[in-house]
Amino acid sequence: MTADDIRRFAKADPFRPFIIRLSDGREFLVTSARSIWVPPSGMNCVVGESDGTAVLLDVESIASLQPREAA
């Protein structure tokens, strides 16, 4: 996975929530384009959680990006 892959999901129009899956099995739901940030270096990304916290992820640890299934 690359930073450009993440940016494509984050900037999709219309935006669709998506799941970031890490190589260790953890998952993070990105609910809006405003809840994820990929800095210019592209080495990390920041995901805002629903509880107001933020998680810093190493882009190289991201195994997949997948649109969230409709409920």
Question: What pTM value is reported for the model?
Answer: 0.90
Question: How many independent structural domains does the chain possess?
Answer: 1
Q: In terms of residue numbers, what domain contains 36? A: 3-67
Q: Render pLDDT for 42-55 as a digit per residue (tens, 0 to 9).
A: 999 999 998 999 99
What one-letter code names the amino acid at 46?
Answer: V
Q: What is the pLDDT of residue 69?
A: 78
> 30: helix, coil or strand?
strand
* pLDDT exceeds cutoff 90 at 5: yes
CATH number at residue 47: 2.30.30.100
Q: How far apart (Å, rounded) are the C-alpha atoms in residues 12 and 10?
A: 6
Q: Render pLDDT for 11-34 as a digit per residue (tens, 0 to 9).
A: 999 999 999 999 999 999 999 999
